Amino acid sequence: MMKRTLIVRLTKNQHERVKNNAESKGYKTISSYIRSLALEHDLGFVKKFDEIYTKLIDRSSDKAESKDEIKLTRFL
């Protein structure tokens, strides 16, 4: 796999904060910490999308079931 370089500019204070966060979370390098954050955020979006999709499907099926129940009670 071909590697790519991403250049990010930080102030001295920002760099220290990122470095401290990486160290406190057990990362050996700032690069691995940043990669993890970037990819984790992407996975977070996918998980949230799946959650919303599931809720919409559940609501649709609940509405369909309640309509069927109404139809059944009319005949009883």
- 22-48 b/e (C-beta count within 10 Å ≥ 16 → b): beeeebeebeebbeeeeeeeeeeeeee
Select the more confidently predicted residue: 62 or 71: 62
Look at residue 65 and tell me if it is in a domain. yes
Position 46 pLDDT exceeds 90: no
Q: What is the overall mean pLDDT for the chain?
A: 83
What's the structural domain count of the chain?
1
pLDDT tier at 24, thresholds 50, 70, 90: very high
- Domain containing 38: what range? 12-75
Given the structure tokens 């509405």, which residue do they identify? 63
How much of the chain exceeds pLDDT 90, in percent? Answer: 39
Q: What is the pLDDT of residue 76?
A: 47
pTM of the predicted model, to two decimals?
A: 0.53
